[in-house]
Amino acid sequence: MTKFTKDHEYITADGTVGITPYAQEQLGDIVYVELPKVGQKLKAGDEAAVVESVKAASEIYSPVSGTVTAVNVALSGEPGLINSSPETDGWIFKLQLDDASELDGLMDAAAYADLTK
């Protein structure tokens, strides 16, 4: 079960967060990723990371409240993983959720597809 935000982040059932294929297409070639710190506490909507592309810099927001438990250090050397596989190798960070019910306020795949038409 993957949920989506209006800002084009996704979060999976295990708390993995990244940007959607749509978002990476809009950004273009990603050249740098500023990752959050492991142990960082985030509230839903907090800025968690920054992704820079040849076009622009874009903030990545936490879809829900929680604590960062892991970051994708591979992105430091190879930020283009977000372009090549945003939903697998290009994940950005993982969260331990404070309240799983916050996921209910996010969009499912069908609603997100409608948003990006």
Count how many domains the chain has.
Answer: 1
% the chain with pLDDT above 70:
100
Per-residue model confidence as pLDDT tens digits over 8-42: 999 999 999 999 999 999 999 999 999 999 999 99
Alpha-carbon Rg for the chain, nearest whole angstrom, is 13
Residues 6+ apart with CB under 8 A from 54: 28, 29, 31
Residue 52 included in any domain: yes
- pLDDT, residue 10, reads 98
Asked whether residue 115 is domain-assigned, the answer is no
Residue 104, in any domain of the structure: no
Is 110 inside any structural domain? no
Token pair 């069908």 is at which residue? Answer: 110
The CA distance from 19 to 15, in Å, is 13
Beta-carbon contacts of 83 under 8 Å, excluding residues fewer than 6 positions away, are: 24, 29, 30, 90
The label of the residue with tokens 């960062």 reads 68
For 51, the domain range is 2-99
Whether residue 6 lies inside any domain: the answer is yes
Of 49, 93, 43, 91, the residue nearest 68 (C-alpha): 93
- How is residue 99 written in tokens? 């309240």
Q: What is the CATH number of the domain that holds 80?
A: 2.40.50.100
The parts of the chain modelled with pLDDT lower than 70 are none
Q: Sheet containing 30-34: which strands, arranged edge to edge? A: 30-34, 47-53, 57-61
* Residue 106: inside a domain: no
Residue 19 β-bridge partners: 9
pTM attached to this predicted model: 0.96
